[in-house]
Amino acid sequence: MSSSIAPPSGPGVPSSGVPPSCMPVALNLKVTGGEGQDEQEVALTGTLRPFVAEEMATVRASLEQAAWSTRGTLCVNLKRLKYMNNVAFLELNRFVRWVSTSRPELKIKFILSSVIPWAIRKFQVIAELYPSVTIEVYDKAFYPIQEVIEDDEFINVLRTQEKIIWEHEQDKLAWHGLRPGLRIADVCCGLGDFAILLQRDFRPEYIVGVDHSKPFLRYARQHVADYGLENIEYQYGDAAALLLPDNSFDFVTCRLGLQVFNEPQGILRELLRICRPGGRIYVTNELMSGIIGWPQKELFRWTYEKVIEMGHVLGMDMDTGLKTRSMLINAGLEDIKVHLIDINNMNSDSVGLAKVVESWNYVTRQMCQRSEQPPEVFERIREGLRAHVEAIQTEGGFASWPIYAGSGRKPFRS
């Protein structure tokens, strides 16, 4: 189809004639790709909860205009929508019907996210009815280990880890720029414990934790309700496409989060986007190859090299620690600070530390299964973890677990 096809009512003119001022509040609409392209994208961000279909006039007009000027596939990107109601869904359905008669050769791809789960089911029905429609669920296929680190069983791992890490982390947070009265976002907040500890010790003005695990968020919200805490919220969302506004936080954290993504730069970009100029971004990353111990030194080395290798197969980098400084520099931050949190059985509660290592049995078993390791590999990893626990508990034994904490300032210039 040539690029000269004109829309019936002219570019930018809403088909229903309703002025743009009737657009639902808090909606951003962006069209990319340009006229006559094989592919164009219309991205909707924010809240799409019209009372009546007419409030969708501007959206409809942009979609129709893009449909007329796209040759191959029109992507309707809804992955950053925070809310959508059925009025909006029905209007999008009507748009699909309009395309099937006005531009029958055009393909439509809806990009959705599990932030609005009911919409996935409904768009699947549309895709079954119209062969030209496909849907892509943005956050379904992040990486194969995603389900593991987001399910209830992982709660135990995070709880035991957090207790130990906080003891070593809290003293340095002021050096990284944390002080009372800030607006904080904790991205990949897990169980939300960190946010609660910050609330207790640093008295922020407001703190929001974002995570992609529903069981973790349930846990976090329950905790906040149990303790009657105020100024803390938890939001379900995707760190790669946060539903938080630009330049809106003084301090943005992502702890042990970058390492679970195969494209951590994309997450850093989002952290930067929501941080205000002059605010700081704080991240922590493990260095698995730095986990060393005595007496079974070789078994330690083999075990954690194997875990790193399986992590790579599954799209994670559990050896990110040493790259912390360069990641922050490459993201465009300034005034970079990095320090090593060395957690070992000499400076930590050994019972708690042994529990942390024992909890890793669950994760490593899952990693072995998902990366299709033979049973003997899993057996040897279990031996390695046992050796780690023994090193912690035996007199004369030593075991160290390094985590790198780094922060940088978002420049005032863009």
Ligand X SMILES: C[S@@+](CC[C@H](N)C(=O)[O-])C[C@H]1O[C@@H](n2cnc3c(N)ncnc32)[C@H](O)[C@@H]1O
Interface positions with ligand X (CB under 6 A)? 139, 142, 146, 149-150, 158, 161-162, 188-190, 210-213, 216, 238-240, 255-257, 260
* Element housing 368 (H / E): helix 350-370
Helix axis angle, 86-102 to 57-69, nearest 10°? 30
CB closer to ligand X, 239 vs 272: 239
CB closer to ligand X, 30 vs 140: 140
- In angstroms, what is the minimal distance from the CB of 117 to ligand X? 15
- In angstroms, what is the minimal distance from the CB of 114 to ligand X? 10
- As a whole number of angstroms, the distance between CA 345 and CA 326 comes to 29
CB closer to ligand X, 84 vs 256: 256
- In angstroms, what is the minimal distance from the CB of 86 to ligand X? 26
Residue position matching structure tokens 């990486």: 143
- By beta carbon distance, the residue nearest ligand X is 190
CB closer to ligand X, 74 vs 405: 405
Tokens of 122: 């409904």
User: CA-CA distances (angstroms) from residue 365 to 142, 148, 389?
Assistant: 20, 10, 17
Tokens of 108: 């439509």
CB closer to ligand X, 190 vs 406: 190
Tokens of 190: 């897990």
For residue 242, the SS3 value is coil
For residue 265, the SS3 value is helix
CB closer to ligand X, 214 vs 380: 214
Cis, bond preceding 117 (omega within 30 deg of 0) = no
Tokens of 195: 């946010």
Buried/exposed 194-209: b ≥16 CB within 10 Å, e otherwise: bbbebbeebebebbbb
For residue 96, the SS3 value is helix
> For residues 144 and 314, is the Cβ–Cβ distance under 8 A?
yes
- As a whole number of angstroms, the distance between CA 200 and CA 192 comes to 13
CB closer to ligand X, 61 vs 367: 367
For residue 30, the SS3 value is strand
- In angstroms, what is the minimal distance from the CB of 411 to ligand X? 25
- In angstroms, what is the minimal distance from the CB of 215 to ligand X? 9
- In angstroms, what is the minimal distance from the CB of 241 to ligand X? 9
Q: How many CA atoms lie within 13 A of 407 on its CB side?
A: 19
- In angstroms, what is the minimal distance from the CB of 115 to ligand X? 10
- In angstroms, what is the minimal distance from the CB of 378 to ligand X? 21
CB closer to ligand X, 136 vs 150: 150
Residue position matching structure tokens 């414990």: 193
CB closer to ligand X, 55 vs 286: 286
- In angstroms, what is the minimal distance from the CB of 335 to ligand X? 23
